[in-house]
Amino acid sequence: MQELRFNPLTGEWVIVSTATQKRPVRPSSVECPICPGGLEFQDISEYDIAVFENRYPSLLKNPPEVESRGIFKKERAFGVCEVVVYTKDHDSSIPKMPLYQIKKLVSVWKDRTRDLFELSFVEYVFIFENRGKEVGASLSHPHGQIYAFPFIPKRIELKIEAMRKWYEERKKCPICEVISSEPGERTVYENESFIAIVPFYARFPYEVHIYPKRHISTILELSEKEESDLADSIKTIVMKYDKLFDQEFPYMMMLFQAPPKEDVDHFFHFHIEFNPPKRDKDKLKWMASVETGTWTFINPVAPEEAAQKLREVKI
Amino acid sequence: MWIFRRKISEGFFSLSDKKYSAIWSVEKIHLGFVVKGYIKGKPEKLEILRIDAPRKALAGGWQSWSPFKVIDTKNHSFKIRDWKYKDTPALSENHLSDYLVASNGIVIGFLSSRFAHPYFEIDGDQIVAYLDYFDSNFENEIPIEPLIVLNEGDTPLLLELYARMIAKDNSVKLEKKKPIGWSSWYQYFSDLEWSDVLTNLEKAKDFPIEIFQIDDSYEADIGDWLDTRAGFPSVSDMAEVIKRKGFKPGIWVAPFSVSETSKLFKEHPDWVVKENGKPKIAYKNWGKNIYALDLSNEEVLNWLNDLFSNLRKMGYRFFKIDFLFSGAIPGERKRSESPIISYRRGMKAIRKATKDAFILGCGAPLIPSTGFVDGMRVSEDTAPYWEAKDEGISAKYALRNDITRYFFHKRLWHNDPDCLILRKDSNISKEQREIYAITSGTLDNMIFLSDDLRKLSESEKDLLEKTISLSGGKPRVENIMDTSMRYEITSRGSNSGNIHLVVDLKESKYKLNFDNHSKIDRRVMVKDNGRNFYFYGEVF
Ligand SMILES: [Zn+2]
Ligand SMILES: [Zn+2]
């Protein structure tokens, strides 16, 4: 079963996707499926950065037809799910990758965004990375993913609405205002084009946001210099995480771009969120009843304090 | 500002007149407000909004070919180009603009034209927005075409938001990517011979062309689209030859037009729009009187369906449908309904019959066509010369409209800037040819060539490459209210990065700048179950 179902209690779409692990796959001598020679790259001895469409995608370019019955509203599960392999080196990770490789990754993100934006059924393109078993990453080989949705997901819709409202009241973009108003106590890192902060409104302990200083709404607008600076910001933040906690610190890294078929660029400011699930070296910050059920977050670490610790980590 | 002759305020309102009754609301929206409602009865010419006129206004006519530019509201007269505009619905002495009018920091526009024709007049010191329902009588309530006023931002942003709202109101979904093509018109015009087609087909494989389109020339008569003129193979064979060469066949049709000499008119003299019971001349062209098909007639709609289904079956996948305004001229029809309703019946029939094929509208009423076309001409024809007096047909004034109507692009349809004329032996200078191509690319518009391809050398191919490489971004005309014809155009996130283009149509000069942007090598492989694999960077 592969379909979208509408939840009238929250107005959100749920993807029902049960079509996993049914087809038998040819076994491979290489254990990691995304290493050269592994399951996904059986005839490939080497690659630099590779992107491929997920073997068991929850969204499909050609999804089965669906039929809504009565009040139970369904839609076809249009979309694309891609895996982005950052490097052929299994044991690498963002802190170990050379800067030019991360910059290349940014270029790849741009290329994928451009392609996916052009698909008529795509309403949102979400680039992300789950790092660590704490957030469900099953492979340690450095990789991220891209979901191209046929709708604007609920939290993105909420962000758009909040930013729109701010703009209507103040005729300015909220992120531009946050950047110009930040006194520095929450700043973790800064280069010419980007600023990384633990935001005033951080929900997770050690949550970090990366904002471009120039008001842009998608990564397509990044200049070459900004691509380098973004790569530098991402690498710096992950290095700081790993050094501060003396481990491969788990996180969810998420890129928030404007949707392709809306005109929200005047108030929507592209940004990256790092949401780490840990509150300390070996303490998890669970998404439990309050967080999941009410979407209220109780942050046990003051953002200013987290920022100071991360800022002071020398890398 | 007054709405339905009341001073503007938010809320719900109603009124009952002898001839009609209406209910409406005025609601705040992002950066402005919207007027929506329902009406029944016989409203005829209905005043919706009245506002003090700004001195300068961006205004223009109702169809593809109408000029769209900044005018002086105190002292303007649109040069109405002979027959083509004579039958603009509701055209009066005071006529100012159709569908929308804009000025510094304000855009006033209608979001749809489903039943009525929306337009603006000057009344003393005021601009008045009207809906013309002609003689329609509505027994049941119908929606009033919504009107928006956006007045909290810069004009280009407000125009873009306006176009997006039209798209949403008309449920526009851009299903197709814009193709690159070749058209026979601007090299051969109506003198095209079949041998010219064969010659260009041979050369076309040297260009990144997907669509090979035969323009006006092949047909036996206007209306007799399946019969070809002497020297041409059958319409079906034309498609076959183009397909065999590896291109998607495209064809030009003026589907709502019928000439007085055509077989179609002789067989069905009652299928046309009438005036005092006699066929009404919609316009004159090809040295003939041209009538308009009565699109309220079910038999005519069936004929349209058969025509386009047949053409599609023959292999045509690109339809340039032209002189569409004729379908919307006022007059007597089988069903007594507004010409706008009839027009949309015709467009709906063509959209349905052509299925996945690309439809390019031309000479088309703009807003009533939304949702039915994939591409749209937004200017008069271009020409193999730059300048013309009284803003007549010329490359310069075609390009002007492509710039001033940029905001429709990729919201309602793909804007068609008309064909690029790249050959050296036209009466357009090198600089002017570059201006046309580079501006069209920066505006992310459709790209069609129209030269004898034998005449194009490496330098023209390079210009075409450059044009394509400039597309893919979000264009904006930053100084759209400027009257000097020196436009400042930006495009964010194009295939060439962020672009800044200054193009001076008066002086025929331009200046193109862009950010440094990265390029990355990519190889695509399709593997098991049709999954795409992309290999980036160093290609092993
Ligand atoms: Zn591996
Ligand atoms: Zn901003």
Q: B163-184 burial string, b = 16+ CB within 10 Å, else e?
A: bbbbbebbebebeeebbbbbbb
Question: Is residue B451 within 8 Å of B461, Cβ to Cβ?
Answer: no
B190 secondary structure, DSSP code: G
Mean of pLDDT values over B457-467: 97
Indicate yes or no: CB of A104 within 8 angstroms of CB of B177. no
Using the mean position of ligand 1's atoms as its centre, give its distance from the Cα of residue B408 in Å: 47
Is B494 a domain residue?
no
Least confident of B64-68, B183-187, B384-388: B64-68
What is the ipTM metric for this complex? 0.96
Which ligand does the CA of A83 lie closest to? 1
Residue B79 confidence (pLDDT) above 90:
no
Query: Sign of the CA dihedral B350, B351, B355, B359?
Result: positive
- Structure-block tokens of residue B310: 């047949």
Contacts of A168 in chain B (CB under 8 A): 30-31, 152
Contacts of B105 in chain A (CB under 8 A): none
Please report the pLDDT score of residue B90 as a whole number.
Answer: 46
Is B530 a domain residue?
no
Residue B2 confidence (pLDDT) above 60:
yes
Is B42 a domain residue?
yes
Indicate yes or no: CB of A120 within 8 angstroms of CB of B497. no
Is B352 a domain residue?
no
Please report the pLDDT score of residue B83 as a whole number.
Answer: 39
The number of domains in chain B is 1
Q: A211-228 burial string, b = 16+ CB within 10 Å, else e?
A: bbbebbbbbbbbbbebbb
Strands A143-149 and B486-494 come out as unpaired
H or E stretch including A83? strand A80-85
Sequence-ordered list of residues with C-beta below 8 angstroms from that of A177, at least 6 positions apart, any chain: A166, A170
Please report the pLDDT score of residue B91 as a whole number.
Answer: 57
Is B53 a domain residue?
yes
Where in B174-254 does DSSP place strands (E)?
A: 180-183, 211-214, 219-221, 224-228, 248-253
Least confident of A203-212, B76-85, B354-363, B366-375: B76-85
pLDDT interval class at A22 (50, 70, 90)? low
Express each pLDDT in B484-493 by its tens digit: 999 999 999 9
Using the mean position of ligand 1's atoms as its centre, give its distance from the Cα of residue A50 in Å: 12
Please report the pLDDT score of residue B104 as a whole number.
Answer: 98
pLDDT interval class at B324 (50, 70, 90)? very high
Is B161 a domain residue?
yes
Name beta bridge partners: A49.
Answer: B536
Contacts of A218 in chain B (CB under 8 A): 493
Q: Position A20: which residue type?
A: T
CA distance B475 to B46: 36
Using the mean position of ligand 2's atoms as its centre, give its distance from the Cα of residue A281 in Å: 34
Strands B375-377 and B414-416 come out as parallel
Residue A28 confidence (pLDDT) above 80:
no
Choose among B330, B392, B375: nearest CA to B67.
B392
Name beta bridge partners: B147.
Answer: B35, B110
CA distance A274 to A94: 14
Indicate yes or no: CB of B534 within 8 angstroms of CB of A50. yes
Mean of pLDDT values over A77-92: 97
Using the mean position of ligand 2's atoms as its centre, give its distance from the Cα of residue B320 in Å: 42
Which ligand does the CA of A215 lie closest to? 2
Indicate yes or no: CB of A120 within 8 angstroms of CB of B157. no
**Given B374, B381, B444, B451, the catalytic residue:** B381
Indicate yes or no: CB of B493 within 8 angstroms of CB of A220. yes
The residues of A whose Cβ lies within 8 A of any Cβ of B are 44-53, 55, 103-104, 106-108, 110-112, 114, 118, 120, 164, 168, 171, 216, 218, 220-221, 223-225, 227, 262-263, 265-266
The values of phi and psi at residue A7, to 5°, are -105, 105
Portion of chain A with pLDDT greater than 90, in percent: 90
| Domains observed in chain A | 2-311 (3.30.428.10)
Question: Is residue A304 within 8 Å of A186, Cβ to Cβ?
Answer: yes
Mean of pLDDT values over B267-276: 97
Residue B84 confidence (pLDDT) above 50:
no
Contacts of A165 in chain B (CB under 8 A): none
Mean pLDDT, chain A, whole residue set: 95
Question: Is residue A167 within 8 Å of A239, Cβ to Cβ?
Answer: no
B389 secondary structure, DSSP code: G
- State which residues form the domain around B74: 2-169
Mean of pLDDT values over A143-160: 98
Sequence-ordered list of residues with C-beta below 8 angstroms from that of B53, at least 6 positions apart, any chain: B73, B74, B122, B125, B126, B127
- Shortest CA gap A295–chain B (Å): 27
Express each pLDDT in B385-419 by its tens digit: 999 998 889 999 999 999 999 999 999 999 999 99
Choose among A260, A156, A268, A5: nearest CA to B173.
A260
CA distance B495 to B493: 7
Contacts of B31 in chain A (CB under 8 A): 168
Indicate yes or no: CB of B492 within 8 angstroms of CB of A110. no
Question: Is residue B211 within 8 Å of B181, Cβ to Cβ?
Answer: yes
Please report the pLDDT score of residue B77 as a whole number.
Answer: 67
Residue B431 confidence (pLDDT) above 50:
yes
Indicate yes or no: CB of A107 within 8 angstroms of CB of B532. no
Name beta bridge partners: B273.
Answer: none
Active site residue B135: no
Portion of chain A with pLDDT greater than 70, in percent: 97
Q: Position A157: which residue type?
A: E
Contacts of A50 in chain B (CB under 8 A): 533-536
CA distance B107 to A204: 43
Among the partner residues A50, A171, A266, nearest to B533 by beta-carbon distance: A50
Choose among B515, B500, B423: nearest CA to B460.
B423
Residue A20 confidence (pLDDT) above 90:
no
H or E stretch including B400? helix B395-404
Please report the pLDDT score of residue B75 as a whole number.
Answer: 81
Please report the pLDDT score of residue A235 as a whole number.
Answer: 98
Is B45 a domain residue?
yes
Pick from B517, B521, B524 the residue to mutate for testing the A interface (most A CBs within 10 Å): B517
Express each pLDDT in B86-96 by its tens digit: 444 445 678 88
Please report the pLDDT score of residue A25 as a whole number.
Answer: 61
CA distance B435 to B423: 14
Indicate yes or no: CB of B175 within 8 angstroms of CB of A120. yes
Please report the pLDDT score of residue B517 as a whole number.
Answer: 84
Query: Sign of the CA dihedral B225, B226, B230, B234?
Result: positive
Is B91 a domain residue?
yes
Residue B85 confidence (pLDDT) above 50:
no
Mean pLDDT, chain B, whole residue set: 95
